[in-house]
Amino acid sequence: MGDPLSAMSTIIDGAQVASGVRDDLGEAIETLADHGVSPGLATVLVGDDPASETYVNMKQRDCEEVGVNGVHVDLDGDASPAELYETIEELNTDPEIHGYLVQDPVPEQIEYGEVIRRISPEKDVDGFHPENVARLVARDARFKPCTPHGIQKLFEAYDIDTEGADVTIVGRSSIVGKPMANLLMQKSVDGNATVTVCHSRTTDLAEKTRRADIVIAACGVTELIDGSMLSVGTTVIDVGISRVEADTEKGYELVGDVDFESASEKASAITPVPGGVGPMTRAMLLYNTVMAASESEGVPVELP
Protein backbone atom coordinates (compact mmCIF):
# COMPACT_ATOMS: atom_id res chain seq x y z
CA MET A 1 0.00 0.00 0.00
CA GLY A 2 1.35 3.36 -0.96
CA ASP A 3 1.15 6.46 1.12
CA PRO A 4 -2.42 7.80 0.73
CA LEU A 5 -0.95 11.28 0.36
CA SER A 6 1.35 10.25 -2.47
CA ALA A 7 0.60 11.36 -6.01
CA MET A 8 1.13 9.54 -9.29
CA SER A 9 3.75 11.62 -11.01
CA THR A 10 3.77 12.57 -14.63
CA ILE A 11 7.29 12.08 -15.91
CA ILE A 12 8.11 15.13 -17.99
CA ASP A 13 9.68 13.85 -21.19
CA GLY A 14 12.18 16.53 -22.17
CA ALA A 15 13.60 14.43 -25.00
CA GLN A 16 10.19 14.30 -26.65
CA VAL A 17 9.43 18.02 -26.21
CA ALA A 18 12.90 18.86 -27.49
CA SER A 19 12.33 16.70 -30.54
CA GLY A 20 9.15 18.69 -31.27
CA VAL A 21 11.08 21.98 -30.96
CA ARG A 22 13.73 20.67 -33.36
CA ASP A 23 11.05 19.60 -35.86
CA ASP A 24 9.48 23.05 -35.73
CA LEU A 25 12.88 24.69 -36.13
CA GLY A 26 13.33 22.58 -39.27
CA GLU A 27 10.69 24.70 -40.99
CA ALA A 28 12.47 27.93 -40.05
CA ILE A 29 15.75 26.45 -41.27
CA GLU A 30 14.10 25.63 -44.62
CA THR A 31 12.89 29.22 -44.91
CA LEU A 32 16.42 30.43 -44.28
CA ALA A 33 17.76 27.95 -46.86
CA ASP A 34 15.28 29.32 -49.42
CA HIS A 35 17.07 32.66 -48.94
CA GLY A 36 20.52 31.09 -49.20
CA VAL A 37 21.19 31.24 -45.48
CA SER A 38 22.64 28.34 -43.52
CA PRO A 39 22.60 29.06 -39.77
CA GLY A 40 26.04 28.54 -38.24
CA LEU A 41 26.80 27.65 -34.63
CA ALA A 42 30.30 27.37 -33.21
CA THR A 43 31.25 25.74 -29.93
CA VAL A 44 34.55 26.51 -28.26
CA LEU A 45 36.05 24.16 -25.70
CA VAL A 46 39.20 25.03 -23.79
CA GLY A 47 40.78 21.93 -22.25
CA ASP A 48 39.52 18.39 -22.06
CA ASP A 49 37.01 18.23 -19.24
CA PRO A 50 35.16 14.98 -20.06
CA ALA A 51 31.69 16.24 -19.19
CA SER A 52 32.21 19.41 -21.25
CA GLU A 53 33.47 17.31 -24.16
CA THR A 54 30.29 15.26 -24.02
CA TYR A 55 28.12 18.40 -23.94
CA VAL A 56 29.78 20.06 -26.94
CA ASN A 57 29.69 16.78 -28.87
CA MET A 58 25.96 16.55 -28.24
CA LYS A 59 25.49 20.17 -29.32
CA GLN A 60 27.37 19.44 -32.55
CA ARG A 61 25.32 16.29 -33.14
CA ASP A 62 22.12 18.33 -32.74
CA CYS A 63 23.40 20.79 -35.37
CA GLU A 64 23.91 17.98 -37.85
CA GLU A 65 20.48 16.57 -37.17
CA VAL A 66 18.57 19.80 -37.85
CA GLY A 67 20.73 21.24 -40.63
CA VAL A 68 22.64 23.88 -38.68
CA ASN A 69 26.24 24.37 -39.76
CA GLY A 70 28.14 23.26 -36.65
CA VAL A 71 31.77 24.25 -36.20
CA HIS A 72 33.87 23.18 -33.25
CA VAL A 73 37.02 24.89 -32.00
CA ASP A 74 39.21 22.98 -29.54
CA LEU A 75 41.85 24.85 -27.57
CA ASP A 76 44.48 23.27 -25.33
CA GLY A 77 43.90 23.37 -21.60
CA ASP A 78 46.95 25.60 -21.25
CA ALA A 79 45.83 28.08 -23.93
CA SER A 80 46.50 31.67 -22.94
CA PRO A 81 43.68 34.20 -22.57
CA ALA A 82 45.10 35.96 -25.67
CA GLU A 83 44.72 32.78 -27.77
CA LEU A 84 41.11 32.42 -26.73
CA TYR A 85 40.43 36.12 -27.38
CA GLU A 86 41.84 35.68 -30.89
CA THR A 87 39.42 32.80 -31.53
CA ILE A 88 36.59 34.95 -30.19
CA GLU A 89 37.56 37.82 -32.49
CA GLU A 90 37.59 35.46 -35.48
CA LEU A 91 34.15 34.12 -34.59
CA ASN A 92 32.81 37.64 -34.01
CA THR A 93 33.75 38.56 -37.58
CA ASP A 94 33.04 35.25 -39.35
CA PRO A 95 29.97 35.86 -41.55
CA GLU A 96 29.10 32.14 -41.57
CA ILE A 97 28.87 31.94 -37.79
CA HIS A 98 25.62 33.42 -36.50
CA GLY A 99 26.02 32.26 -32.92
CA TYR A 100 28.62 30.67 -30.71
CA LEU A 101 29.47 29.79 -27.16
CA VAL A 102 32.51 29.14 -25.04
CA GLN A 103 31.78 26.12 -22.90
CA ASP A 104 31.94 26.81 -19.17
CA PRO A 105 34.00 25.98 -17.11
CA VAL A 106 37.25 27.30 -18.56
CA PRO A 107 40.74 26.61 -17.11
CA GLU A 108 41.82 28.82 -14.23
CA GLN A 109 44.15 31.08 -16.27
CA ILE A 110 41.07 32.33 -18.11
CA GLU A 111 38.42 34.55 -16.57
CA TYR A 112 35.01 33.52 -17.88
CA GLY A 113 33.43 36.93 -17.29
CA GLU A 114 36.03 38.56 -19.53
CA VAL A 115 35.41 35.91 -22.19
CA ILE A 116 31.68 36.65 -22.13
CA ARG A 117 32.24 40.40 -22.45
CA ARG A 118 34.24 39.83 -25.65
CA ILE A 119 31.56 37.78 -27.39
CA SER A 120 29.54 39.88 -29.81
CA PRO A 121 26.12 40.29 -28.13
CA GLU A 122 24.43 39.54 -31.47
CA LYS A 123 26.16 36.12 -31.54
CA ASP A 124 25.85 35.35 -27.83
CA VAL A 125 23.35 32.50 -28.18
CA ASP A 126 23.83 31.54 -24.51
CA GLY A 127 22.48 34.97 -23.57
CA PHE A 128 25.28 35.52 -21.05
CA HIS A 129 26.74 38.84 -22.29
CA PRO A 130 25.96 41.73 -19.87
CA GLU A 131 24.03 43.52 -22.64
CA ASN A 132 21.82 40.47 -23.12
CA VAL A 133 21.39 39.99 -19.36
CA ALA A 134 20.28 43.62 -19.09
CA ARG A 135 17.87 43.19 -21.97
CA LEU A 136 16.37 40.11 -20.34
CA VAL A 137 15.85 41.95 -17.07
CA ALA A 138 14.35 44.90 -18.96
CA ARG A 139 11.85 42.52 -20.62
CA ASP A 140 13.43 43.11 -24.00
CA ALA A 141 15.27 39.80 -24.32
CA ARG A 142 17.37 39.19 -27.41
CA PHE A 143 18.26 35.61 -26.45
CA LYS A 144 16.65 33.90 -23.51
CA PRO A 145 19.27 31.71 -21.79
CA CYS A 146 18.77 28.16 -23.00
CA THR A 147 18.02 26.25 -19.80
CA PRO A 148 15.43 28.67 -18.36
CA HIS A 149 13.85 29.03 -21.78
CA GLY A 150 13.73 25.24 -22.15
CA ILE A 151 12.03 24.93 -18.76
CA GLN A 152 9.41 27.47 -19.84
CA LYS A 153 8.81 25.33 -22.93
CA LEU A 154 8.33 22.27 -20.72
CA PHE A 155 5.73 24.16 -18.66
CA GLU A 156 3.94 25.10 -21.86
CA ALA A 157 4.04 21.54 -23.22
CA TYR A 158 2.65 20.06 -19.99
CA ASP A 159 0.12 22.86 -19.27
CA ILE A 160 1.86 23.81 -16.05
CA ASP A 161 0.62 27.27 -15.23
CA THR A 162 3.08 29.63 -13.57
CA GLU A 163 0.53 32.43 -13.14
CA GLY A 164 0.27 33.11 -9.39
CA ALA A 165 2.35 30.01 -8.62
CA ASP A 166 4.87 29.92 -5.78
CA VAL A 167 8.12 28.87 -7.39
CA THR A 168 11.18 28.00 -5.34
CA ILE A 169 14.45 27.98 -7.27
CA VAL A 170 17.37 26.28 -5.57
CA GLY A 171 20.55 27.79 -7.00
CA ARG A 172 21.51 31.32 -7.98
CA SER A 173 23.84 30.77 -10.94
CA SER A 174 24.04 33.20 -13.83
CA ILE A 175 23.32 30.31 -16.21
CA VAL A 176 20.11 29.04 -14.60
CA GLY A 177 18.94 30.40 -11.24
CA LYS A 178 19.10 34.14 -11.87
CA PRO A 179 17.66 34.22 -15.41
CA MET A 180 15.01 31.65 -14.42
CA ALA A 181 13.92 33.85 -11.51
CA ASN A 182 13.79 36.86 -13.78
CA LEU A 183 11.71 35.18 -16.46
CA LEU A 184 9.26 33.68 -13.99
CA MET A 185 8.63 36.93 -12.12
CA GLN A 186 8.00 38.90 -15.30
CA LYS A 187 4.55 40.15 -16.12
CA SER A 188 3.86 37.71 -18.93
CA VAL A 189 1.80 34.59 -19.61
CA ASP A 190 4.81 32.36 -19.05
CA GLY A 191 5.77 34.29 -15.90
CA ASN A 192 3.58 35.96 -13.27
CA ALA A 193 4.97 33.67 -10.57
CA THR A 194 6.03 34.52 -7.03
CA VAL A 195 9.65 33.48 -6.95
CA THR A 196 11.89 32.50 -4.04
CA VAL A 197 15.57 31.99 -4.83
CA CYS A 198 17.49 29.75 -2.42
CA HIS A 199 21.23 29.12 -2.22
CA SER A 200 23.97 27.71 -0.05
CA ARG A 201 23.34 30.26 2.72
CA THR A 202 19.57 29.78 2.81
CA THR A 203 18.23 28.77 6.21
CA ASP A 204 15.53 26.10 6.40
CA LEU A 205 15.55 25.17 2.72
CA ALA A 206 12.88 22.51 3.26
CA GLU A 207 10.43 25.16 4.46
CA LYS A 208 10.93 27.04 1.17
CA THR A 209 10.59 23.95 -1.01
CA ARG A 210 7.54 22.63 0.89
CA ARG A 211 5.57 25.80 0.33
CA ALA A 212 6.27 25.81 -3.42
CA ASP A 213 3.94 24.78 -6.21
CA ILE A 214 6.99 24.41 -8.43
CA VAL A 215 10.54 23.55 -7.32
CA ILE A 216 13.42 24.13 -9.71
CA ALA A 217 16.61 22.50 -8.46
CA ALA A 218 19.74 23.95 -10.07
CA CYS A 219 22.48 23.93 -7.46
CA GLY A 220 24.70 21.02 -8.53
CA VAL A 221 24.39 19.22 -5.19
CA THR A 222 23.42 15.63 -5.91
CA GLU A 223 20.05 14.56 -4.56
CA LEU A 224 19.80 17.58 -2.24
CA ILE A 225 16.02 17.69 -2.62
CA ASP A 226 14.11 14.62 -1.50
CA GLY A 227 10.46 13.76 -1.06
CA SER A 228 10.39 14.86 2.58
CA MET A 229 11.07 18.42 1.40
CA LEU A 230 8.11 18.52 -0.99
CA SER A 231 4.37 18.89 -0.64
CA VAL A 232 2.06 16.57 -2.51
CA GLY A 233 1.29 17.87 -6.00
CA THR A 234 4.48 19.88 -6.54
CA THR A 235 6.01 20.17 -10.00
CA VAL A 236 9.70 19.30 -9.74
CA ILE A 237 12.24 20.41 -12.32
CA ASP A 238 15.71 18.94 -11.89
CA VAL A 239 18.45 20.85 -13.68
CA GLY A 240 21.31 19.06 -11.90
CA ILE A 241 23.44 16.62 -13.84
CA SER A 242 26.48 15.38 -11.94
CA ARG A 243 28.69 12.45 -12.85
CA VAL A 244 28.91 10.05 -9.95
CA GLU A 245 31.27 7.09 -9.98
CA ALA A 246 29.32 3.88 -10.50
CA ASP A 247 29.74 0.29 -11.57
CA THR A 248 28.53 0.94 -15.14
CA GLU A 249 30.14 0.58 -18.55
CA LYS A 250 31.21 4.22 -18.49
CA GLY A 251 32.27 4.09 -14.86
CA TYR A 252 29.79 6.75 -13.81
CA GLU A 253 26.12 7.56 -13.75
CA LEU A 254 24.32 10.87 -14.09
CA VAL A 255 22.63 12.09 -10.94
CA GLY A 256 20.41 15.13 -10.51
CA ASP A 257 19.86 17.54 -7.64
CA VAL A 258 16.66 15.68 -6.75
CA ASP A 259 16.25 12.23 -5.25
CA PHE A 260 13.94 11.04 -8.00
CA GLU A 261 12.48 8.04 -6.19
CA SER A 262 11.22 9.80 -3.08
CA ALA A 263 10.39 13.06 -4.92
CA SER A 264 8.25 11.27 -7.49
CA GLU A 265 6.06 9.94 -4.67
CA LYS A 266 5.07 13.53 -3.90
CA ALA A 267 5.35 15.33 -7.23
CA SER A 268 2.48 15.76 -9.65
CA ALA A 269 5.07 16.08 -12.43
CA ILE A 270 8.83 15.62 -12.40
CA THR A 271 11.73 15.71 -14.84
CA PRO A 272 14.07 12.72 -14.98
CA VAL A 273 17.88 12.92 -15.20
CA PRO A 274 18.92 12.39 -17.90
CA GLY A 275 16.14 13.08 -20.41
CA GLY A 276 14.45 16.02 -18.70
CA VAL A 277 15.94 19.49 -18.84
CA GLY A 278 19.17 18.63 -20.72
CA PRO A 279 17.62 17.98 -24.15
CA MET A 280 15.60 21.20 -23.81
CA THR A 281 18.72 23.28 -23.12
CA ARG A 282 20.23 21.97 -26.33
CA ALA A 283 17.05 22.51 -28.35
CA MET A 284 16.85 26.13 -27.20
CA LEU A 285 20.47 26.65 -28.23
CA LEU A 286 19.43 25.70 -31.76
CA TYR A 287 16.43 27.99 -31.41
CA ASN A 288 18.68 30.94 -30.48
CA THR A 289 21.03 30.11 -33.35
CA VAL A 290 18.20 30.10 -35.88
CA MET A 291 16.94 33.36 -34.41
CA ALA A 292 20.43 34.90 -34.63
CA ALA A 293 20.72 33.86 -38.29
CA SER A 294 17.28 35.23 -39.07
CA GLU A 295 18.03 38.57 -37.37
CA SER A 296 21.50 39.11 -38.79
CA GLU A 297 20.58 38.03 -42.32
CA GLY A 298 17.28 39.93 -42.32
CA VAL A 299 15.20 36.86 -43.19
CA PRO A 300 12.09 36.67 -41.00
CA VAL A 301 11.18 33.17 -39.79
CA GLU A 302 8.51 31.73 -37.58
CA LEU A 303 9.91 30.29 -34.37
CA PRO A 304 8.14 27.71 -32.20
CB of 136 to ligand GUN, least distance (A): 14
User: What are the residues whose beta carbons fall under 8 Å from the beta carbon of 256, sequence distance 6 or more?
Assistant: 217, 222, 223, 238, 239, 240, 241, 242, 272, 273, 276
Is 159 catalytic? The answer is no
Residue 75 as a binder of ligand GUN (CB under 6 A): the answer is no
> Does residue 59 have an active-site annotation?
yes
140 is catalytic: no
- Alpha carbon distances (Å) from 174 to 93, 120, 126: 26, 18, 11
175 binds ligand GUN (CB under 6 A): yes
Least separation, in Å, of the C-beta of 126 and ligand GUN?
A: 5
Decide if residue 101 touches ligand GUN (CB under 6 A): yes
| Angstrom distances, CA of residue 15 to CA of 96, 227, 273 | 29, 24, 11
Decide if residue 219 touches ligand GUN (CB under 6 A): no
Under rule CB under 6 A, residue 126 binds ligand GUN: yes
Distances in Å between the Cα of 155 and the Cα atoms of 5, 28, 58, 146, 198 are 24, 23, 24, 14, 21
Measured from the CB of residue 98, what is the shortest distance to ligand GUN in angstroms? 16
Candidates 7, 40, 97, 103: give the one binding ligand GUN (CB under 6 A).
Answer: 103
For residue 104, state whether it binds ligand GUN (rule: CB under 6 A). yes
E-only strand ranges, 47-174: 69-75, 99-102, 166-170
Give the active site residue among 62, 124, 126, 238. 126
**Residue 238 in contact with ligand GUN, rule: CB under 6 A:** no
DSSP characters over 78-107: T--HHHHHHHHHHHHH-TT--EEEEPSP--
Contacts to ligand GUN from residues 127-146, by CB under 6 A? 146
Amino acid at 269: A
Residues engaged in binding ligand GUN (CB under 6 A): 101-104, 126, 146, 175, 281
Residues belonging to the active site? 59, 103, 126
